[in-house]
Amino acid sequence: MTAARKLVIATRESRLALWQANHVKDLLEQRGHAVELLGMTTRGDQILDRALSKVGGKGLFVKELETALEEGRADLAVHSLKDVPMELPPGFELACVMEREDPRDAFVSPHFASVQDLPQGARVGTSSLRRVVQLRALRPDLVIEPLRGNLDTRLRKLDEGQYDAIVLAAAGLKRLGLAERIRAVFEPESMLPSAGQGALGIEIRAGRADVAAALAPLAHQATWLAVAAEREVSRAMGGSCSMPLAAHARFDGGMLHLATAWGDAEQPGPLLRAAGGGTIADLGEAVALGAEVASRLRAAGAR
Ligand SMILES: NCc1[nH]cc(CCC(=O)O)c1CC(=O)O
């Protein structure tokens, strides 16, 4: 197959974003398309001194890329799906969800092998309220301190001794060849991932049938159904990254199992959990499962 014209991928310029964009570029080139990258810096990359939840949330990483799509400077944008807001602005659509990398969170530390091994009162770096409430549930004694920046920046701050350990998505570390930094992975039972974690999503302008057709072979249906259920939980709960909310779905024996957790970031207390599952065959059924589990989570007291 030969493409009529070149496909331009808008991408952030962090090492992980470039890896992801190049990954999609390779896959498209293997299918005969000519592909070029358009690198740009987003507000989310520039603001490193405040928690994302305080400065505008997930959209910060996406907006400049969408402007490039809108102005026709680019045809597609590759995102870590967990950074993509639940509702895209009018005129944009998620054209494709790709096969998921490891969705779990990773424990990274120069001195300690796992969260259980940390001494009393150890300092753990994370700015994710989802990770904060789950760390508190595991180890109420830990001192949790803010940590922002791209993966390399976060690892550098750990290595400089600002923290005893940090928690990062395993997927990003593996993609950058940093898997050896992982001392332990958190099983979902102890640290439930965020909606979309480990999955890549490709955004296009709505109605670009030519681009959608080029991307169709890159889609992974099982991942797409799982993240659709997860993202519906976030959407139904009011979904921003300032919410201490986890949602993780996976197929097992033909059934999609969806687990969620919510914790009160202001008042330490028990995590609230809700789960559900079903034989899910299409996106509509995945979204319905997400809605059902979200209403259970709200009934359990999550806000
Ligand atoms: N919020 C930042 C972010 N967005 C995507 C990833 C990498 C993992 C992924 O693709 O889900 C990370 C790093 C992290 O959370 O440790």
Q: Which of 19, 83, 167 to mutate to test the pocket of ligand 1 (most atoms within 8 A of CB)?
A: 83
Residue 300 has pLDDT above 60, yes or no: yes
Residue 114 pLDDT: 97
Residue 4 pLDDT: 60
* Mean pLDDT, residues 34-40: 96
* Mean pLDDT, residues 162-168: 98
Atom of ligand 1 nearest to the CA of 194: 11
pLDDT band at 54, cuts 50/70/90?
Answer: low
**HEC readout, the chain:** CCCCCCEEEEEECCHHHHHHHHHHHHHHHHCCCCEEEEEECCHHHHCCCCCHHHHCHHHHHCHHHHHHHHCCCCCEEEEEHHHCCCCCCCCEEEEEECCCCCCCEEEECCCCCCHHHCCCCCEEECCCHHHHHHHHHHCCCCEEECCCCCHHHHHHHHHCCCCCEEEEEHHHHHHCCCHHHCCEECCCCCCCCCCCCCCEEEEEECCCHHHHHHHHHHCCHHHHHHHHHHHHHHHHCCCCCCCCEEEEEEEECCEEEEEEEECCCCCCCCCEEEEEEECCCCHHHHHHHHHHHHHHHHHCCCC
pLDDT band at 59, cuts 50/70/90?
Answer: low
CA–centroid distance, residue 183 to ligand 1 (Å): 17
CATH superfamily of 220-303: Porphobilinogen deaminase, C-terminal domain (3.30.160.40)
Establish whether residue 169 lines the binding site of ligand 1, counting it when its CB lies within 6 angstroms of any ligand atom.
yes
Residue 58 has pLDDT above 70, yes or no: no
How far is the first Cα of the chain from the last one, in angstroms, to the nearest whole number?
50
Residue 61 pLDDT: 73
Residue 270 pLDDT: 86
Write down the mean pLDDT value for the chain: 92
Residue 15 pLDDT: 93
Establish whether residue 171 lines the binding site of ligand 1, counting it when its CB lies within 6 angstroms of any ligand atom.
yes
On whether ipTM exceeds 0.90, the answer is yes
Atom of ligand 1 nearest to the CA of 197: 11
* Mean pLDDT, residues 291-296: 98
**Percent of the chain topping pLDDT 70:** 92
Residue 171 has pLDDT above 50, yes or no: yes
pLDDT band at 42, cuts 50/70/90?
Answer: confident
Establish whether residue 172 lines the binding site of ligand 1, counting it when its CB lies within 6 angstroms of any ligand atom.
yes
Q: Hey, which residues are catalytic here?
A: 83
Whole-model pTM: value is 0.92
Q: Each residue of 129-151: pLDDT tens digit?
A: 999 999 999 999 999 999 988 89
Residue 169 has pLDDT above 90, yes or no: yes
Residue 44 pLDDT: 66
Amino acid making up residue 243: M
CA–centroid distance, residue 169 to ligand 1 (Å): 5
Establish whether residue 201 lines the binding site of ligand 1, counting it when its CB lies within 6 angstroms of any ligand atom.
no
Matching CATH topology for 1-98+199-219 and 220-303? no
Q: Each residue of 78-105: pLDDT tens digit?
A: 999 998 888 899 999 999 999 999 999 9
* Mean pLDDT, residues 228-247: 89
CATH superfamily of 1-98+199-219: Periplasmic binding protein-like II (3.40.190.10)
Among 56-70, 137-151, 202-216, 260-274, which stretch is predicted with the lowest mean pLDDT? 56-70
Domain limits of the chain? 1-98+199-219, 105-185, 220-303
pLDDT band at 3, cuts 50/70/90?
Answer: very low
Atom of ligand 1 nearest to the CA of 167: 16
Domain spanning 105-185: CATH 3.40.190.170: no
Residue 241 has pLDDT above 90, yes or no: no
CA–centroid distance, residue 81 to ligand 1 (Å): 9
Residue 47 has pLDDT above 70, yes or no: no
